[in-house]
């Protein structure tokens, strides 16, 4: 296969909220270009892009998929991305390698929270975009309402390139405002004159389009104001310039499921979205040389050294790990060796493939601007850069959001812990937003992610791919125990057993330290009432008891212990006896020192739309939250800063999504420990004692 002309490549991510029709649009594009011979649909579960069993059963995109097609002498690499809020971070990772984006807005539901989120991601990577107002054939479809929402939500001027002929059940096709022709759908799409009933509307929007283009160039503006018509070439050039500089949003429309307006959208992709060469002028290819610690710029040409960025991996228990990458410069050849610049390790590249959904089409080499995959790279993960050994370069990684929800997991079958761990680490290679840890204190395996559905899908994959099942449960809260008063107690351990006995006797005083004060041990023994060699054993017994807890089995913190008296036996005393005596003394003194439970308090920031502010604050108050302040944010949002007990935040992700219709975001980090209110503390202690009884 001849090398593709970089100027003729378009790397396009299709982004939108869940259910807007991303996968249906991908099907129509691939069908029109002849890459597939029939259009599938999500209801039947037979689309090119949604092929994972979890996607077919749920009828939503869970992971991004890649396909390519050729259209009018150009190569279009499509990336169909998830829009469901739990999986939307995958979209961010894909926009890192896209040069342009199609943003789908539903003509029924308009701009939704997820649309706003993926739009922000596209802004983050300076990706030019086109809006496709989809579902024009559905009941209650309204193109002009969606257009208004678009401008209001994104504070950008939306300039239609196409307008619909009819809406809902009366939708017949579209008017192309560049050619001023109508494309009416019957059995086939037919080019016709613009219907009389929308001719005035078409003329008005055509005038707006030409005016916007003329404003960008003084000579064009002068020509336009003097009554001259802009040529087709001038209009096309102005549309491209306006799109690439993001001075306005080109808007198209249609109905993906009936393949109306899609070929015109494909033409708009070639016109409005940049090639890798044009994108390198907007956002230069820059990275860090790990050896010289300096920034280097590369060009999207074959003669520059190889630079390829891995933006996705797929774990396959049989075929191995698929690494999907984009080449930014140079050429990646099959059967070659490359350097992973992030890890410093060499990787053997075997076969290289172009992707068409789950189909793999072998390639001998992949050049600048192309997207492809390689199998069985051992030490390469999402965000790594592959390059030539003597020309290392690290491209900046995408920083994914931190997980917002955690569950403890346990294997259904005893002895499967190792299988769970190894399987999950393979799942983690696929999805950087899933985190897996072991809690040293509770001994639980903790799985964290972007929402409950996200974690359920990860565990479904674990069962399907690696044959191991687990159960999810709420993780344990890391409570602490401490005291509010001082107390003294004796710990005396005396045991006779016929031969040599055991004897240890100590007196201690315990006092509270300020919150966060930790632990302090003071040796005030005078006159050798406890010999020097036994005193560390007393402290050891105290420390072990503090780790195990006294009233509810949680570690003891913020306490000063003073060893001030005791006695010993010249024959029967031992380190073990004094260790036990120290433990006994602490347990007695602790009960007399007004013991309390402490709970972790989280510093929480919640960003919500203005209209839901009151409901969200009310919900936080019901969770024992203390609101510290509210600050206005861009885009009609408010940021709430508050302190909330960790125990009240375990199910917060689902509740916030419910209150804000998925538009709320939050982050949290540990702040400090505070006393648990008495009535809650009693319940926790009772529950822990019940658990201990059941365990024994």
Q: What is the pLDDT of residue 696?
A: 58
Q: Are 361 and 468 contained in the same domain? A: no
Q: How many CB atoms lie within 10 A of CB 11?
A: 27
pLDDT of the residue at 460: 92
Residue 376 pLDDT greater than 60, yes or no = yes
The backbone region for 73, taken as left when phi is positive above 0, alpha when psi lies in -120 to 50, beta otherwise, is left
- Say if residue 499 is in the same domain as residue 644: no
Residues 322 and 343 in one domain: yes
d(CA 309, CA 326): 5
29 and 142 assigned to the same domain = yes
Q: Please report which helix (H) or strand (E) contains residue 453, including its range.
A: helix 452-466
Tokens of 461: 């994959």
Q: Identify the H or E element spanning 559.
A: strand 559-567
Residue 217 lies in a domain: no
- Whether residue 22 lies inside any domain: the answer is yes
- Say whether pLDDT at 163 is over 80: yes
CATH number for 461 = 3.30.70.870
What confidence score (pLDDT) does residue 2 get? 59
Highest-confidence range of 52-61, 283-292, 323-332, by mean pLDDT? Answer: 323-332
Least confident interval from 78-82, 410-414, 579-583: 410-414
Over residues 217-246, the pLDDT tens digits come to 777 777 777 776 788 888 888 899 989 999
- pLDDT per residue as tens digits for the range 622-645: 999 999 999 988 667 899 999 999
Assess whether 169 and 69 both reside in one domain.
yes
Pair 369, 418 in one domain: no
Q: Which domain holds residue 128?
A: 6-197+238-281
Model confidence at 70: pLDDT above 80:
yes
In this structure, the answer to whether residues 38 and 172 fall within a common structural domain is yes
Average pLDDT score over the chain: 91
Domain count, the chain: 5
d(CA 432, CA 90) in angstroms, rounded, equals 9
Residue 206 in any domain: the answer is no
Last residue of one domain, picked from the residues 449, 473, 497: 473
Rounded to whole angstroms, the Cα distance separating 114 from 60 reads 14
Interatomic CA distance for residues 668 and 641, integer angstroms: 10
Inform me whether the pLDDT recorded for 609 exceeds 60.
Answer: yes
Asked if pLDDT for residue 483 goes beyond 90, the answer is yes
pLDDT at 319 over 90: no
Strand (E) or helix (H) holding 503: strand 502-512
For 143-157, b/e burial (b = at least 16 CB within 10 A) is: beebbebbbebbeee
CATH number, position 641: 3.30.70.240
Average pLDDT over residues 484-493: 96
- Model pLDDT for residues 540-550, shown as the tens digit of each residue: 999 999 999 99
Tell whether 310 and 296 lie within a shared domain.
yes
CATH number of residue 375's parent domain: 2.40.30.10
166 in the same domain as 52: yes
Q: What pLDDT does 582 receive?
A: 97
Per-residue DSSP letters for 44-72? Answer: TT--SS--SHHHHHHTS--S-EEEEEEET
The last residue of one of the domains, among 362, 395, 428, is 395
Indicate if 657 and 605 belong to the same structural domain: yes
Instruction: Examine the domain organization and report whether 514 and 660 are in the same domain.
Output: no
Name the pTM for this structure.
0.79
Looking at the fold, whether 69 and 182 belong to one and the same domain comes out as yes
Specify if 559 maps to a domain: yes
Query: Tell me, what's the pLDDT at 352?
Result: 96
3-state helix vs strand vs coil in the chain, percent to 5? 30, 35, 35
- Is residue 588 predicted with pLDDT exceeding 90? yes
Kindly state whether residue 391 falls inside one of the protein's structural domains. Answer: yes
Summarize the confidence of residues 389-394 as an average pLDDT.
95
Torsion, Cα of 623, 629, 634, 636 (10° steps)? 60
Per-residue pLDDT reduced to its tens digit, 13-49: 999 988 899 999 999 999 999 999 999 888 888 888 9
Stretch 62-83: mean pLDDT: 95
Confidence of residue 189 (pLDDT cuts 50, 70, 90): confident
For residue 200, the cross-strand partners are: none
Domain's final residue, options 416, 439, 473: 473
């Amino acid at each position: 296969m001849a090398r593709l002309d970089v100027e003729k490549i378009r790397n396009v991510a299709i982004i939108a909220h869940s259910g807007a029709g991303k996968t249906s649009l991908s099907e129509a594009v691939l069908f029109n270009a002849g890459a597939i011979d029939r259009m599938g649909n999500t209801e039947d579960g037979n689309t090119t892009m949604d092929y994972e069993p979890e996607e077919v059963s749920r009828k939503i995109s869970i992971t991004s998929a890649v396909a390519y097609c050729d259209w009018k002498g150009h190569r279009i690499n499509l990336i169909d991305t998830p829009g469901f809020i739990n999986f939307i971070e995958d979209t961010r990772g894909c926009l890192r390698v896209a040069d342009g984006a199609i943003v789908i807005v539903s003509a029924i539901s308009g701009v939704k929270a997820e649309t706003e989120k993926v739009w922000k991601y596209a802004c983050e990577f300076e990706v030019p975009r086109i809006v496709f107002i989809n579902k024009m054939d559905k009941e209650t479809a309204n193109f002009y309402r969606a257009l208004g929402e678009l401008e209001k939500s994104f504070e950008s001027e939306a300039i239609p390139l196409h307008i619909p002929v009819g809406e809902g059940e009366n939708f017949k096709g579209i008017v192309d405002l560049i050619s001023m022709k109508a494309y009416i759908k019957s059995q086939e799409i037919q080019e016709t004159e613009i219907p009389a009933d929308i001719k005035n509307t078409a003329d008005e929007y055509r005038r707006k389009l030409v005016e916007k283009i003329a404003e960008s160039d003084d000579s064009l503006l002068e020509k336009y104001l003097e009554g001259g018509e802009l040529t087709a070439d001038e209009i096309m050039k102005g549309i491209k310039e306006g799109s690439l500089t993001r001075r306005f949003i080109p808007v198209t429309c249609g109905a993906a499921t009936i393949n109306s307006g899609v070929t015109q959208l494909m033409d708009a992709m070639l016109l409005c979205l940049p090639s890798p060469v044009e994108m390198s002028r907007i956002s230069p290819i820059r990275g860090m040389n790990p050896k010289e610690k300096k920034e280097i710029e590369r060009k999207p040409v074959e003669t520059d050294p190889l630079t390829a960025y891995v933006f996705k991996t797929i774990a396959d228990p049989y075929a191995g790990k698929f690494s999907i990458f984009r080449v930014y410069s140079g050429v990646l050849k099959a059967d070659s060796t490359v350097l992973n610049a992030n890890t410093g390790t060499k990787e053997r590249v075997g076969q290289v493939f172009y992707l068409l959904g789950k189909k793999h089409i072998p390639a001998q080499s992949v050049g600048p601007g192309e997207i492809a995959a390689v199998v069985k790279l051992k030490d390469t993960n999402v965000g790594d850069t592959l390059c030539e050994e003597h020309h290392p370069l690290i491209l900046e990684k995408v920083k994914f959001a931190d997980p917002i929800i955690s569950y403890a997991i346990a294997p259904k079958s005893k002895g499967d812990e190792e299988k769970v761990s190894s399987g999950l680490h393979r799942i983690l290679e696929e999805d950087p937003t899933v985190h897996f840890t072991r809690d040293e204190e509770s001994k639980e395996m903790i799985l964290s992610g972007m929402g409950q559905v996200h974690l359920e899908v990860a565990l479904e994959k674990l069962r399907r791919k690696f044959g191991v099942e687990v159960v999810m449960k709420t993780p344990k809260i890391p409570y602490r125990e401490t005291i509010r008063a001082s107390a003294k107690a004796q710990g005396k351990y005396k045991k006779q057993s016929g031969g040599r006995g055991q004897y240890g006797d100590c007196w201690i005083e315990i006092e509270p330290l300020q919150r966060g004060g930790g632990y302090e041990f003071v040796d005030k023994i005078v006159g050798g009432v406890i010999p020097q060699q036994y005193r560390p054993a007393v402290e050891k017994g105290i420390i072990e008891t503090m780790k195990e807890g006294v009233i509810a089995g949680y570690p003891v913190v913020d306490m000063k212990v003073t060893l001030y008296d005791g006695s010993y036996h010249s024959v029967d005393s031992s380190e073990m006896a004094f260790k036990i005596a120290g433990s006994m003394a602490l347990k007695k003194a602790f009960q007399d020192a007004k013991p309390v439970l402490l709970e972790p308090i989280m510093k929480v920031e919640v960003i919500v739309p203005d209209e839901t502010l009151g409901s969200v604050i009310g919900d936080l108050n019901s969770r024992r939250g203390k609101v510290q302040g509210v600050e206005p944010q861009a885009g009609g949002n408010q940021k709430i800063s508050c302190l909330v007990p960790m125990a009240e935040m375990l199910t917060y992700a689902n509740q916030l999504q419910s209150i804000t219709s998925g538009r709320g975001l939050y982050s949290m980090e540990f702040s400090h420990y505070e006393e648990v209110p008495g009535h809650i503390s009693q319940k926790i202690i009772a529950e822990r004692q019940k658990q201990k009884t059941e365990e024994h």
